[in-house]
Structure 1
Amino acid sequence: MDILTLVGLVAGILIVILAMLANASLLTFVNLPGLAIVIGGTFAVTLIKFRLPTVMSAFRLAFRAAFTDRVARPTELIREVGRLAHVVRKEGILGLESHQTRDEFLQKAINLCVDGHPPELVEEALAQETQQTMERYEVAERVFRGIGESAPALGMLGTLVGLVQMLNTLDDPSTIGPAMAVALLTTLYGAFIAQMVALPLADKLQLKAEDETRNQILITTSMRNIMRGENPRVMTELLSSFVTPEHRTGLAPEREA
Structure 2
Amino acid sequence: MKINFEGKNKKLIVIVVMLLIIGQSFVSSISLKLLLNTTAIQIIFAGIFISIFVSFSMTTLTDTLRMTKESFIKEINYTEDIYKVHSLAAKVKRDGLLSIQSEINIEEDTFLRDAMILLNDYKKPEVIRDILEKDIEAREANLLKAYHVFKMISHVAPSLGLIGTLVGLIGLLANMHQPYEIMNNMAAALVSTLYGSLIANFIAVPIMVRIKEYVGKNILRYAMITEGILLIAENDSARNVFDKMNVMLKEEDRLAYPGKRADERNYQLHEFKI
RMSD: 3.1
Q: Is the 8 A contact 1:236 1:254 kept in 2?
A: no
Aligned-partner SS, 1:98: helix
Calculate percent identity across the aligned residue pairs: 26
- Residues 1:93 and 2:97 are matched in the alignment: yes
Partner Cα distance (1:76, 1:55) in 2? 29
Partner Cα distance (1:151, 1:2) in 2? 34
Counterpart mapping for 1:32-181 below 5 A: 32-48=38-54, 50-53=55-58, 55-73=60-78, 75-99=79-103, 100-173=106-179, 176-181=182-187
Q: Is the 8 A contact 1:79 1:254 kept in 2?
A: no
Partner Cα distance (1:120, 1:76) in 2? 26
Q: Is the 8 A contact 1:237 1:255 kept in 2?
A: no
Letter of the structure 2 residue corresponding to residue 76 of structure 1: E
Once structures 1 and 2 are overlaid, which stretch shifts more, 30-39 or 57-66?
57-66
Aligned-partner SS, 2:256: helix
Q: Is the 8 A contact 1:79 1:251 kept in 2?
A: no
Letter of the structure 2 residue corresponding to residue 78 of structure 1: I
Letter of the structure 1 residue corresponding to residue 85 of structure 2: V
CA shift, 1:9, in A, is: 11
Which string of whole-angstrom CA distances, capped at 9 and with x for unpartnered residues, describes residues 27-57 of structure 1?
4322222112111112223345x23346424
Selected match of 1:230 from 209, 231, 236: 236
Quickly say closer, same or farther: Cα 1:16–1:142, change in 2 above 3 A: same
Letter of the structure 2 residue corresponding to residue 241 of structure 1: V
Note the residue ranges of structure 1 that are not aligned, 5 or more in a row: none
Letter of the structure 2 residue corresponding to residue 236 of structure 1: F
Once structures 1 and 2 are overlaid, which stretch shifts more, 140-149 or 232-241?
232-241
Quickly say closer, same or farther: Cα 1:138–1:223, change in 2 above 3 A: same
Aligned-partner SS, 1:253: coil
Once structures 1 and 2 are overlaid, which stretch shifts more, 138-147 or 108-117?
108-117
Letter of the structure 2 residue corresponding to residue 62 of structure 1: M
Q: Is the 8 A contact 2:168 2:188 kept in 1?
A: yes
CA shift, 1:24, in A, is: 5.9
Task: Give the TM-score normalised by the residue count of structure 1.
Answer: 0.83
Runs (4+) off by over 6 Å: none
Partner Cα distance (1:197, 1:230) in 2? 47
The residue that corresponds to 1:211 in the other structure is 217
Aligned residues: 254
Note the residue ranges of structure 2 that are not aligned, 5 or more in a row: 265-274
The residue that corresponds to 2:36 in the other structure is 30
Partner Cα distance (1:149, 1:83) in 2? 47
Partner Cα distance (1:152, 1:105) in 2? 39
